[in-house]
Structure 1
Amino acid sequence: MAPIDHSKHEKPTQVWKSLEDVCLPARSYDIEFWWQVTGYHLAKMVEAAGYPIERQYEVLLFHYHWIVPRLGPAPGADGLPKWKALMAHDGSPLEYSWKWNTTNSLPEVRYSWEPYNPGADSTANPRNHEVSLDYMKHISKVVPQADFTWARHFLSEIETGDRPTSNFLHAVEFHRKKPFDLKSYFLPRATKLLEGGDSGVMKEWDDAVVKLDPKNPTREVLRKFLKTNPEGQALSPVVLAMDDVSPSKSRLKMYFLTSHTSFKALRQIMTLGGLVDIPEESLQEIRSLITTILGLPEDFPEDANTPVQPPIGKSWVETENLFECFVYFFDIAPQNGVPDVKFYLPTRRYGPDDLAIAHRTIEWMKARGRGAYADQYLQMMEAVAEHRGLENGKGLHSFISYQVNRNGEPDIKTYFTSETYHPTRFTGRDNTTNGTNGTNATNGTNGHAL
C-alpha cells in the first residue's frame, strides 16, 4: 500500500504553492511527510485567519525549519505509526488551535507539538529529552525573547529519582504582529498518571513550585480549593505548563480533569467555590456553548453529568477514557491573587460528527456577533479534513475552550488534530466511511446519520 502523494492538495494557498513550487528543496522522506501534512494544514490556517502574506511566509518557514525536522519518523507505507505521541488522541505529534475573533479583534493561530525522542516511550532511555533540549538551545536565534528558566527548573525537579518520567512538550503562538510566543508542558507519560491514578503528581508539582516561588498567594488559593471543596477534591492533575518568557512575566498553569461533568460542578470549579466573582451571564454563556455544540435541551438538568457519546473506532482505546471528563486549567501567576480558570470541552468524547461540531460552533459565534471568520474557518476545516471529509465521523475536533475575559468578550478556542494516521491518507478518500474505523458515518450522538 503506497502513501498518498500529499503534494497534490485540493486547494493550495498562494503561499503554500510558492514555497512548494519555487522555494523549498525536497528533504528526507520523514521530513517531507510531516511538511506535506502539517505544513499544508498550517498554511490553510493562517490564510483563513487573514494573516498578511509576509506573516504567512514567516509562520510556514518557522514551522518548516524549526518544528518539522523534530517530529520524528513518518508512518510506514501501511500508515501505521512508528511512534505514538501523547499530544493528540490518535498519536499525532501536533494539536492545532484556532483562537476565535471577537467583535473587535482578529483570529489567531497556534499549535502544541511533541518532539520525537527515541527510546523515551520505553525503558531504553525514558529520560531522553534531547530533541527538546536542542530546540531550547537554538530557538533563541529566531525568538530572542524566549526564556526557558522555568522549564529547566521543572525539568530538573520532576525528572529525578525513581518517579515516572514526563513527556516534555512545547507550543508556539503565531501572533500577527508581535514576536511568536513559546510555551512548555510536562505531561505524565504513563496512562495511569494521565488518569489521575498517581497521588504523587500533585505533591511533585507542589514541591517544585515552592522552590521556584515559595510565597505565591494564588497557589495557596488553589491548594485550599483542591483540599476543601468536594469538586476540587475530584480534580486530578494531568499537565503542568508555563510561558517560556522571563520568570517575572511568565504564567504557571496547572491542568486537571474531572469525571464530574454537570453544570453544577462546572459552576463550582469556575468560581473556585464562589471565591472568584464570575458574572452569572458568563456562566450561562458556558452552559449555552456546551448545550449548543452537544445538542442538549435548554432545560438539561443542572446536576446531571453531560452524556457521553459512544467512541468511534478502536485504534486508541488505551487513551479513550481520558476524554470522558471535563478539563480545566488554573493560572497561578502570583500577581493574580486568585487563579484564572479555563474550561475545556472534549469534543472527541462528547457531541456529534466533525461537520456538525463546526456548524454548531459557528452558529454560536454568529449569534454573538463573532462570525466574521466563520466561512473561512469552515473552509479551513474542510481542507484539513480533505482526506476523509468532516461529515464522515469525528476525531478532528478535540477540544473547545472557554475562558472568562474580565476586560471584554470571552476567549474561545477550537482545538483540532491532524489525523496523521487516518487510513484514508494512505488509501484515498472514501466519502461513505466513518472518519476513524471505516464503518458507516454516524453523527456520534445516537447512531443515526445526520
Structure 2
Amino acid sequence: MSIVLSRYLGGHDQRFWNRHLRHMLERMLFLAGYCDQDVSSQLRFLESIVTPHLGKRPRRIGRHAHHSFMTDDGTPIEMSWSWTEGDIDTMPVVRYSIEPLAMTLPKDEKWLNLHGSNAFLQDASGWFTAPDMTWFNRVNNILLQYDRCPIGSKTGEHESQIFWAFDLDGGHRLLKVYYVLNARAQGLSCSKLSLVERAVSKLSVDESMATALENFFTFIRASGADTEVEILSFDCIDPDRSRIKIYFRSRITSFSRVRSIMSWGQMHSCTTKGDMGSLKDLWHSVLGLDSHRSLEDPLQVKKHRTAGILYYCEFKPRTSAIKSKVYIPVRHYGINDQLIASRMSHFLTSRSMRLQEKTYLEALQQLHPRRSLEKGLGLHTYISWAINAAGKINITTYLNPGLVRNRPDVSTTPLRWLCV
C-alpha cells in the first residue's frame, strides 16, 4: 500500500470515529453540567489525540480486525457518568477508557498490540494534569508480553494488554493506566495473581498500603477457583498520591456472594452494614429481579468470557483501609436497555443525583436516537456501586457507544457495525 493511500485511509477511519464519538461525548458533557469552555477542551482532546489511535473503522460484517477486551462487542472505547452522593442535587463526572490501536502492524506483532499505546503516549504528552509515569515505567517489563504468545493466538483469546482512562475534571484530564493480565500470564505460564504480586512489590508502597494489599492477596487466595484476578490499574500521578486498583471476577452470581465479597471489603473500610440496602435495591432494580427473590439464587447461566460479577479493590497511600466496588453486568443479565435506564432514572432521582435538564432515560434516548432501547441490550456494559471514604454512595453507569449490534433476526450471527 502506498504511503499516500495509507494516510488517506487512516484519515477516513479517524473521521468515522470523530463523527460518532464527538456527538456522544459532547452530549454527555453538556448533560453533566460542564461549561462550554471545558466541553470545547475535552472535544479537542478527543479529536486530536484519541480518535487517531482507535484503529481502523469497523468492518460492516464479522469480527473486528482487533477485538478489544474493552467491551464485549470489541469496541475500543467505553464512556461513563459517575455520581457521588451529596447533600444537594449532584451532577456526574464524565470519564472514558480506550484501547489505543495501531493502524498497521507486522503480522507477527498484531496480537500483542503495544504499538498503539506507545504512539498514543507520544501524542498525548502535555495534555494531562501533573502526569507521572514512574510506576508505569517500573512495572512494564513485569506485566507486558513483548513476544508473541502462541497460546493466546491459537485459542482465540482477546488481544488486549493495556488500556488508558481519563477522568474529565473540568477542562483537565487525570490519566489512568490499566494492565490486562491475560497475555503476560499465558506467556509466562503463571497466574495473574502472581503477576500482580510481583508488580506491586516494585512500587515501594508504604507500610499501611502494603498491609492492605497483603490482606487482599490472602482473601483472593482463599476464595478458590471461582475468583480470578483480571486487571491491575493505577493513577499516572505522583506515586505518593496514586491509588492502586485490582480488578477480579467471581463466577458465582448470587446476591449473597456479592454481599459476602463487599462485606469483606467493608471490614477493611469505613462503611457500615446499613449501606448494603442501597446495593440490594440497585441490584434488584436494574436486573429486573423480583424483590422477594432468594438472595442465594444465582443469575441465569451465561457462557461468556466476561460472565460473572466484576469487582475491584482500591488501595491508597498511608492507610490500610480498602475501598471495594461491584460492577453489575447488566450487559449479560439485564432485560433491556429501556428497563435499565428507567430504573436508573428512579434510583438516581431518589438519591438527589441527576443530569442537566433530562432524566437518565431521556438522556440515553438522546444519545442513541436511532436505537430501540426496549428491543436492545448492550448500550450499558456495567452499573457500579461503591462507598467512598466519607460514607457516600458512588454510582457509575458505563456506556458502549452503540456502534455494534447483533442482527435482529438471528442472535448468533456475527456482529455488524452501524455505519450511519
TM-score with structure 2 setting the length = 0.83
Supply the AA of the counterpart residue of 1:252: I
Q: Does 1:333 align with 2:324?
A: no
TM-fit CA distance, 1:373: 4.5
Q: Does 1:147 align with 2:117?
A: no
Work out the CA distance in 1 between the residues paired with 2:258 and 2:213: 20
The ranges of structure 1 where at least 4 consecutive aligned residues each deviate by more than 6 angstroms after the TM superposition are 119-122
Cα shift readout 1:21-44 (whole Å, capped 9, x = no counterpart): xxxxx9921110000111111111
Work out the CA distance in 2 between the residues paired with 1:330 and 1:374: 34
Work out the CA distance in 1 between the residues paired with 2:106 and 2:193: 22
Supply the AA of the counterpart residue of 2:401: S
Q: 1:171 aligns with which of 165, 173, 179?
A: 165
TM-fit CA distance, 1:224: 1.8
Work out the CA distance in 2 between the residues paired with 1:350 and 1:143: 36
Contact 1:170/1:184 (8 A) holds in 2: yes
* RMSD over aligned Cα atoms: 2.9
Question: Larger deviation: 151-160 or 71-80?
Answer: 71-80
Work out the CA distance in 2 between the residues paired with 1:67 and 1:372: 25
Question: Larger deviation: 88-97 or 130-139?
Answer: 130-139
Supply the AA of the counterpart residue of 2:177: S
Distance 1:355 1:95, change over 3 A: same
Contact 2:254/2:299 (8 A) holds in 1: yes
TM-fit CA distance, 1:267: 2.1
- Could you say what secondary structure the match of 1:348 adopts? helix
Work out the CA distance in 1 between the residues paired with 2:50 and 2:129: 17
TM-fit CA distance, 1:55: 0.8
Distance 1:205 1:121, change over 3 A: farther
Partner residue, 2:235:
243
Cα shift readout 1:311-368 (whole Å, capped 9, x = no counterpart): xxxxxxxxx6133211100112342303211110011111111111000111112222
Partner residue, 2:251:
259
Q: Does 1:284 align with 2:277?
A: yes
TM-fit CA distance, 1:412: 0.2
User: 1:175-214, aligned counterparts within 5 Å?
Assistant: 175-176=169-170, 179-188=172-181, 200-213=191-204
Work out the CA distance in 2 between the residues paired with 1:175 and 1:274: 28
- Could you say what secondary structure the match of 2:74 adopts? coil
TM-fit CA distance, 1:395: 0.8
Contact 2:145/2:184 (8 A) holds in 1: no
Q: 1:86 aligns with which of 69, 88, 95?
A: 69
Distance 1:151 1:367, change over 3 A: same
Cα shift readout 1:179-204 (whole Å, capped 9, x = no counterpart): 311111111456997xxxx7521111
Work out the CA distance in 2 between the residues paired with 1:305 and 1:78: 34
TM-fit CA distance, 1:47: 1.3
TM-fit CA distance, 1:392: 2.3
Work out the CA distance in 2 between the residues paired with 1:140 and 1:341: 31
Work out the CA distance in 2 between the residues paired with 1:187 and 1:91: 15
Work out the CA distance in 2 between the residues paired with 1:321 and 1:75: 22
TM-fit CA distance, 1:380: 3.0
Cα shift readout 1:112-158 (whole Å, capped 9, x = no counterpart): 00111367797435444223123323423222511222222222222
Distance 1:240 1:276, change over 3 A: same
Residue identity (%) = 26
User: 1:425-436, aligned counterparts within 5 Å?
Assistant: 436=406
User: Where does structure 1 lack aligned partners over 5 or more consecutive residues?
Assistant: 1-25, 311-319, 423-435, 442-450
- Could you say what secondary structure the match of 1:109 adopts? strand
Q: 2:218 aligns with which of 213, 219, 224?
A: 224
TM-fit CA distance, 1:411: 0.6
Work out the CA distance in 1 between the residues paired with 2:77 and 2:16: 14
Distance 1:352 1:199, change over 3 A: farther
Work out the CA distance in 2 between the residues paired with 1:245 and 1:351: 36
Distance 1:371 1:55, change over 3 A: closer
Q: Does 1:356 align with 2:339?
A: yes
Work out the CA distance in 1 between the residues paired with 2:401 and 2:136: 26
Work out the CA distance in 1 between the residues paired with 2:63 and 2:144: 30
TM-fit CA distance, 1:371: 4.0
Supply the AA of the counterpart residue of 1:237: V
Work out the CA distance in 1 between the residues paired with 2:368 and 2:66: 22
Q: 1:115 aligns with which of 87, 100, 109?
A: 100
Q: 2:122 aligns with which of 121, 137, 142?
A: 137
Distance 1:111 1:243, change over 3 A: same
Question: Larger deviation: 240-249 or 296-305?
Answer: 296-305
Work out the CA distance in 2 between the residues paired with 1:79 and 1:383: 28
Contact 2:175/2:236 (8 A) holds in 1: yes
Distance 1:356 1:112, change over 3 A: same
Distance 1:339 1:119, change over 3 A: farther
TM-score with structure 1 setting the length = 0.78
Contact 1:221/1:338 (8 A) holds in 2: no
Supply the AA of the counterpart residue of 2:371: R
